[in-house]
Amino acid sequence: MSWRSVADLVGTDDGAQIAILGVPMEAGSVTPGRCDLAPGAIRKAMRRFSTYDVESRTALVLPVRDKGDLPVRGIMPAAGFETIRNAVEDCTDGHALTMVLGGNNALTRPAAHGLGLALDRVGLITLDAHFDLRETDQGLLNGNPIRALLEDGLPGRNICQVGLAPFANTAKMHGDALDAGIGIWTIADCRTRGIEPILQEALARIGHVETIMVDFDIDVIDRSQCPGAPGARPGGMPVDMFFRAARRLAAEPRVKLVDLTEFDPSLDQGDITALTAGRWVCEVLAGFQAART
Ligand SMILES: [Mn+2]
C-alpha cells in the first residue's frame, strides 16, 4: 500500500485555506543561477513526504490550492513587480495563508505589496543570513528587497531580521538597519538563546502590525545542510532550527504570507536542499493546521 504524500493535498479547490504560488524569478540575482527551477523541484520533493508526523501524532489533512507558476522567468524584478503583486494579492484575498515558492529574494518586495495593505500595517520577519539592504541605485536585485521596501514606506520598526551571518554583510547595512529601527538577531543569538524565545520577541516587537509576511531565505541554513543556496555559509542555522521556526511562525494568526527563496536546484547535492524545501512546506502546513483550525 502506498502512503498519502504531501503532494496529494494539493489540488484545485478554491475553498482551500492555504494556497501555493510558484514565482520562478531568477533575473536580478547578484550571483546568476537557476532559482527559477526551484518551484518545480519543491513540488516534486513534496511527493517524498508522508502526511503523517510521528512526533505530534497528527496527519496533515488540509487541502492546498496550487495557483501554478507565474510567467516571470527572465523578467527583471522591476518589470515583474505588478505580475507578482497582483497574483499574490489574488491569493491572499481568497486564502488564510499563501506560500510563495521562489525564485530569488527579489520577489519579497512585490509579494509584500500583495498583502493589499498600506505598508505601515504590515510586518515582515526575515530568516536570512543577509540584511538585503544593498543600495537600489543599480536597480532592484535579490540583494536589496528590504532596502526597496523601506523606500516604499515599510517602517523599519515593522521589520525583524533573524539569522544574520558574520562576514556576510557590511557595517553600513548594519548601521542602516539599526537607524531604521529594524529588530536584529544574529545567528549566534539563535544558537545561544534558541529560536523560540527569539521568535516570541520578534512577534512581540511587531505586535502593532495587522498582518505579517515571513521571508524564509534558505541561505540562512548552514551550508553543509543547504548546498543548493549560493549564499549559504558554514556556521549557519542548523536545519532543524529552521524547521521549528517555520512551524512556529505558520502558527501565528497574523502570518498570512510566507515565501521560500534562493533555492538553486542546479547547485544541489543528493537532493539535500530539495528535501529541506519540501520539509519546509510540511512544517508550514503543520504549524497552520495545529494552531489555526
Ligand atoms: Mn536574502
pLDDT (tens digit, 9 = 90+) per residue, 141-184? 999 999 999 999 999 999 999 999 999 999 999 999 999 999 99
* 227 located within any domain: yes
Q: What's the 120 CA to ligand 1 centre distance in angstroms?
A: 22
54 C-alpha to ligand 1 centroid (Å):
32
d(CA 251, CA 273): 23
Kindly give the distance from the C-alpha atom of residue 142 to the centroid of ligand 1, in angstroms, as a whole number. Answer: 7
What local confidence, expressed as pLDDT, does residue 186 receive? 98
CA of 108 to the centre of ligand 1 (A): 9
Taking the whole predicted model, whether its pTM rises above 0.75 is answered as yes
- State the pLDDT at residue 207: 98
Residue 47 cell numbers, joined:
511527493
Running DSSP on this structure, what letter comes out for residue 156?
A: G
Per-residue model confidence (pLDDT) at position 31:
87
Gap from CA of 179 to ligand 1 centroid (Å): 20
Report, as ranges of residue numbers, the positions in the chain whose pLDDT lies below 70.
Answer: 1
Amino acid at 257: L
Which pLDDT score, from 0 to 100, does residue 292 have?
84
Q: How far apart are CA 144 and CA 206, in angstroms?
A: 22
d(CA 106, CA 217): 11
In the chain, the largest separation of any two C-alpha atoms, in whole Å, equals 58
CA of 288 to the centre of ligand 1 (A): 24
- Report the amino acid identity of residue 138: Q
**CATH number of the domain within which 89 lies:** 3.40.800.10
Cell 499574490 -> residue = 88
CA 142 to chain centre: 13
Per the listing, cell 528535501 goes with: 275
Residue 3 alpha carbon to ligand 1 centre in Å: 35
Task: State the Cα torsion 150-153-158-161 to the nearest 10°.
Answer: -10
Residue whose grid cell is 527559477? 36
Distance from the CA of 12 to the center of ligand 1, in angstroms?
Answer: 31
How close is the Cα of 132 to the center of ligand 1, in Å?
6
Give the Cα separation of 64 and 105 in Å (integer).
23
> What is the model's pLDDT at position 1?
56
Distance, in Å, from the CA atom of 19 to the CA atom of 89, rounded to the nearest integer, reads: 11
Residue 287 located in a structural domain = yes
pLDDT of residue 77: 96
Report how far ligand 1's centroid is from the alpha carbon of 8 (Å): 30
Q: Which domain holds residue 201?
A: 6-292
Does residue 102 fall inside a structural domain?
A: yes
Give CA–CA dist 75/79, Å, rounded: 6
How far, in Å, is the centroid of ligand 1 from the Cα of 52?
Answer: 31
How many domains does the structure of the chain reveal?
1
The answer to the question of residue 265 being in a domain is yes
Per-residue CA distances from 118 to 112, 158, 188, 207 (Å): 10, 12, 34, 16
| Ligand 1 center to 225 CA (angstroms) | 17
Residue 1 lies in a domain: no
State in Å: Cα 146 to ligand 1 middle: 9
Distance 130 CA to ligand 1 centre (A): 6
Alpha-carbon distances, residue 292 vs 4, 204, 212, 248, 277 (angstroms): 22, 19, 15, 12, 22
The C-alpha cell that represents 275 in the structure block: 528535501
Q: Alpha helix (H) ranges present in 108-180?
A: 108-113, 145-152, 171-180
Ligand 1 centre distance from Cα of residue 5 (Å): 30
79: in domain: yes
